[in-house]
Amino acid sequence: MTSRPTFSLEFFPPKDEAGESRLWSALAELQPLQPDYVAVTYGAGGSSRDRTIRITSEITARTSIPTVAHLTCVGATESQLREILVQYRDAGILSILALRGDPSGGPQSEWVSTPGGFDHADQLVSLATSLGFEVAVAAFPDGHPASGGDFQRDIEVLLEKERRGATTATTQFFFEPERYFSLVATLKSRGSALTIYPGILPITNQKQLKRMAELGGTPIPSWIETELNEAGDDASKVREIGIEIASELGSALLSGGAPGLHFYTMNSSVSTSAIVKKIGLR
């Protein structure tokens, strides 16, 4: 008997009470679909650290869903990172997504070291595993923004994180399934046992998509841009297009052997719920 593909969600820490209300509403609507885990991000430059810790802890306390907390090296010493990990552990959070994190100026800005801190995510992986955490890392089917298109360099970085104790990786969102399968095949050819979960972004807003794609270095295929341009300012049409694109991508990934799908929900349930049901993930 084979286990069913995993289904996971990602939220970002809300900035105000109204945003927090939307997050809890979205989570309540998605919980019946039985997600395997929920991840909570950090803001740029670690700006939402305290909210991330609080929201992740509350999800753990208020729901039966396992949680994965993002943790970055930005603006923190090793001692501070250790303290945050202990806070997570005390709150019952046992899984971490370890990231270097983006400089405050964005992913392609120059990295500025924090005295007494880490410069690379692999150092954070070592620290988290030494404290007993299950550690996941990030993967980039379209290439990491800082690697300048050097795919082999990205592979070496992932292999080093695995050597230090990472067991899974979640990808940045992407739109061409062959990029994911190429990444997985290359890692496997190098003897990697990392489980790679593909990340999917349901498109709901064209400006938001372009901003996120620029930040993460994700190319938007011309056929997607054409469809979105034809939809114009019709929000419901854009959402429908986004659901269709993500459904086709998700189906292709699962058919090709992906172990599950990770959804960047943008703190909304409508599109993710529709996609999950449409492709029969739940």
**Which of 88, 91, 89, 76 lies closest to 123, judged by CA?**
76
Distances (CA, A) of 224 to 236, 245, 259: 16, 8, 25
One-letter-per-residue 3-state SS of 187-249: HHHCCCCCEEEEEECCCCCHHHHHHHHHHHCCCCCHHHHHHHHHHCCCHHHHHHHHHHHHHHH
Q: Which amino acid is at 70?
A: H
CA angle at 218 for the pair 215 and 223, rounded to the nearest 5°: 130
Measured CA distances, 257 to 226, 232, 276 (Å): 29, 35, 17
Catalytic center residues:
10
- Cβ pair 137, 166 in contact under 8 A: yes
Rg (CA), the chain: 18
State whether residue 73 is helix, strand or coil.
coil
CA 184 – CA 139 distance, rounded (Å): 10
In this structure, which long-range contacts are made by residues 182-185, counting pairs with CB atoms below 8 Å and at least 24 apart in sequence? 182/141, 183/139, 183/140, 183/141, 183/155
DSSP 71: E
What H or E segment, with its residue span, contains residue 171?
A: strand 168-173
